[in-house]
Chains A and B, each alone.
Chain A
Amino acid sequence: MTSTNATHGGGADYERVLPGRDDAVVFEEEKQSPLRRIQQFLHAYPTTIPFIVLLAGIVVFYLLVGSRFIAPFNLSLVLQQVTIIGTLGIAQTLIILTAGIDLSVGAIMLLSSIVMGRLAVKSGVPVELSFPLGLMAGMACGYVNGLLVTRLKLPPFIVTLGTWSIFGALVLFYSRSETLRQQDVEAVAAFLQWTGTAIPIGAARLTYGSILMILVAGLIWYVLNRTAFGRHIYATGDDPDAARLAGINTKRTLLAVYTIAGLICAIGGWVLIGRIGAVSPLSGQTANLDSITAVVIGGTSLFGGRGSIVGTLIGALIVGVFRNGLALAGLDALWQEFTVGVLIIVAVAIDQWIRRIAV
């Protein structure tokens, strides 16, 4: 490619020396310190850290507590304990990937579970109908969130702060603050409790709810990584202007994401009924923050555009393992809260560090 200085009248004097330039590519790697190389590796594969933390946690607690911790039954118990939060975490991950946040996931889960249960137990609706209605209630809530974010252009934090109150009020209104006991639910709608049924695998117990969570995670993973829609979700969170200019309908993408998240929260409500047997408006008090905790510890950035479903599941497991390990080690329950706080801060600090890739 010849220089065009000669053909046109333009070209600054200083550019005449350019034909003699060195064409070596600017970004050839200099000697990189090991730390720098680690930083770059983690930038490409951010889920590594949560995975290492999970392994380290399991090893540490095995050393501290012994076989009671590492027993298959105990580890499968931890999986059961984090399944609800893991499911909500999948929904939360989708929304955080779009640089949003959803403070109403717990309320949506609760509302869906109440609709599913109460229609069947109190209004005599057959569970074949009340269950899909419960799922649709969750989708409708998610859709409302999406509408408010895309039409009113309010920040998702504000929107979901408001809808948390609204959906919560609807929960109390519709449930009349009554708990439907496990026996009453079992009598007419045992299907709702199916997610709590456990399959024995040796000494371990795997509930259908956990399997469901893994299936949902797999499906969402597929959508995020193997379909165009998934690319659009990442692009919308990473740089909405670039996405729009590339022809992505960011409004439609966001609306779809919030609605799908609502549906996943409703599935979480189904898992909730399986776990507690009852339909109770008292549940999920800390679900919102727990789901965000799982996402953050799992390495998904709160700034959008990067993160993974696998990371969130690992994040949920980390919290479960640490809580379980600390309790078995005989430590006071307040150390569980302390540790979760430390994990969050460390996770966000590491995320900030690996994002700082110098160009």
Chain B
Amino acid sequence: MSAEAERPILQARNIVKRFGRVTALDHADFDLLPNEILGVIGDNGAGKSTLIKVLAGAIIPDSGQVLLDGKPVHFRTPLDARAAGIETVYQDLALAPALTIADNLFLGREVRKGGPLGQWLRLLDRSAMQKQAREHLSALGLATIQNIKQQVETLSGGQRQGVAVARAAAFGSRVIIMDEPTAALGVKESRRVLELMLEIKRRGLPIILISHNMPHVFEVADRIHIHRLGRRIAVVNPRDYSMSDAVAIMTGAMEPPPMTEQQAA
């Protein structure tokens, strides 16, 4: 489970981002190995959300490089990142409440009927989208949602989270980023999401998990990226370190381990 000399799927080198006089990212690095769940932790203001937004294409860095499969990429908008196969499950889910599950799954990537109906009349192929939506949800074990034509606002928080995760898993081809996925959920529903994450990892998609919930991070992550003061200060293996150690490193109470002991690629 520890990384061999595998090439990271997603990398960032020397990212700098300033907002006015505040330096959010100060030569930050990042590595994501294939087939892993990488936990990203850091105190508020450490810059971890900014780093993630850079990777997701929502923020353009002042300097530094982002590499996908070893090749430099320049994301101008979140759509560029999406097109490159990086899907994000946002903290507030980014689902439109009045639209149905199927609508939301395919929002922005609607499927049209083939032939002239689809091309000239721009007719949507709703039955195809509903069918595919059902498939995606079942693949993740979310078949408990009865009606694919339900409006998202009628679902519970955990079910909505499931839909958002299913959307990312359906379209993500390289990387999935999950931003605080269990923050608003109860015990049972959080468990469900963690199981979903493992399922996605089983399918071969690496996941970046940003979370404040140490138990959850320690449970599913293969490596943990600790962010502090605008840069990555450590990458540790959750089996070798305790939660309190990780929190201590994160808050500066403990010195980060020397590079040789770290799990950085």
Chain A interface (Cβ within 8 Å of chain B)?
1, 4-5, 8-12, 14-15, 18, 21, 25-27, 43-44, 222, 226-229, 231-232, 234-235, 238-239, 241-243, 245-248, 305-306, 357, 359
The answer to whether B110 touches A228 (Cβ under 8 A) is: yes
The answer to whether B96 touches A239 (Cβ under 8 A) is: yes
Residues in A neighbouring B187, C-beta threshold 8 A: 14-15, 18
List 11 additional A-B contacts (Cβ < 8 Å) besides A15-B187, A235-B107, A305-B98: A4-B195, A26-B188, A227-B122, A228-B110, A231-B99, A238-B99, A245-B78, A245-B88, A246-B94, A246-B96, A305-B96
Interface residues in B, total, Cβ within 8 A: 53
Closest 4 CB pairs of A and B: A10-B218, A247-B108, A228-B110, A10-B219
Cα A98 to Cα B141 in complex, Å, equals 34
Cα A5 to Cα B88 in complex, Å, equals 26
Q: Which of A12, A18, A231, A357 contacts B215 (CB 8 A)?
A: A12
* Shortest beta-carbon distance from B11 to chain A in Å: 24
**Interface status of B148 (Cβ within 8 A of chain A):** no
Cα A242 to Cα B218 in complex, Å, equals 30
Cα A243 to Cα B242 in complex, Å, equals 40
The answer to whether A241 touches B110 (Cβ under 8 A) is: no
* Shortest beta-carbon distance from B86 to chain A in Å: 13
> Given known contacts A21-B188, A26-B158, is B122 in contact with A247 (CB within 8 Å)?
no
> Given known contacts A18-B188, A245-B78, is B239 in contact with A9 (CB within 8 Å)?
yes
Q: Output the nearest chain B residue to A19 by Cβ-Cβ distance.
A: B191
**Interface status of B114 (Cβ within 8 A of chain A):** no
The answer to whether A27 touches B78 (Cβ under 8 A) is: no
Cα A295 to Cα B95 in complex, Å, equals 26
Q: Which of A27, A247, A248 contacts B82 (CB 8 A)?
A: A247
* Shortest beta-carbon distance from B35 to chain A in Å: 15
The answer to whether B97 touches A239 (Cβ under 8 A) is: yes
Residues in B neighbouring A357, C-beta threshold 8 A: 153-154
Cα A258 to Cα B90 in complex, Å, equals 30
Chain B interface (Cβ within 8 Å of chain A)?
78-79, 82, 88, 90, 92-99, 103-104, 107-110, 112, 121-124, 126, 141, 144, 151, 153-159, 187-188, 191, 194-195, 198-199, 214-220, 238-239, 242-243
Residues in A neighbouring B214, C-beta threshold 8 A: 10
The answer to whether B191 touches A239 (Cβ under 8 A) is: no
Q: Output the nearest chain A residue to B214 by Cβ-Cβ distance.
A: A10
The answer to whether A4 touches B220 (Cβ under 8 A) is: yes
Residues in B neighbouring A5, C-beta threshold 8 A: 219
The answer to whether B107 touches A238 (Cβ under 8 A) is: no
Q: Output the nearest chain B residue to A228 by Cβ-Cβ distance.
A: B110
Residues in B neighbouring A18, C-beta threshold 8 A: 187-188, 191
The answer to whether A10 touches B216 (Cβ under 8 A) is: yes
The answer to whether B90 touches A245 (Cβ under 8 A) is: yes
The answer to whether A10 touches B112 (Cβ under 8 A) is: no
The answer to whether A238 touches B97 (Cβ under 8 A) is: yes
The answer to whether B215 touches A4 (Cβ under 8 A) is: no
Q: List 5 A-B contacts (CB under 8 A).
A: A11-B215, A15-B215, A229-B122, A246-B104, A359-B153
Residues in A neighbouring B104, C-beta threshold 8 A: 246
* Shortest beta-carbon distance from A6 to chain B in Å: 10
